[in-house]
Amino acid sequence: MLNQIILVGRLTRNIKVHKSDKGVKVATINLAIPRSFKNVDGGYDTDFIDCVAFDSIAENTKAYCQKGDIVGVKGRVQSRKIEKEDKNEYIMEIIAEKITFLSNKGKEETEENEDLEEVEEEINEED
């Protein structure tokens, strides 16, 4: 049997790491992944997929990535059962076994904007 998935997408938000009841560091990462085909309106739909990372993977991703960055996630699909109002609900999620940092678009844009602001300030000071 094989349960393996590889995803490449953009982070939809900055990562927050929290500790579970058992003391394990956990981060839920949401990836925006555009589909490779057009819909009936001629545009590309996007899927938003939750991935869960633990311990050092969660910490490293938080330290080096931010909203807008492209990451690759290698992991497995896992389902879990939760009880809601006397009903069982099943949730499918991706458990990240490895996350590869593919771009730092958010950081580059931030640096470029800061550089532009500095140049604008210098120009205004000269006038």
Round the average pLDDT of the chain to a whole number and report it: 86
pLDDT of amino acid 102:
92
Residue 120 lies in a domain: no
Q: Residue 55 maps to which CATH number? A: 2.40.50.140
Residue 54 class from Cβ within 10 Å (0-12 exposed, 13-18 middle, 19+ buried)? middle
Task: Report if pTM > 0.75.
Answer: no
The per-residue pLDDT for 60 is 94
Residue span of the structural domain in which 98 resides: 5-102
* Total number of domains constituting the chain: 1
Question: Is 66 a member of any domain?
Answer: yes
> Per the domain annotation, does 118 fall within a domain?
no
pLDDT at 119 over 90: no
Instruction: State which H helix or E strand residue 94 sits in.
Output: strand 87-101
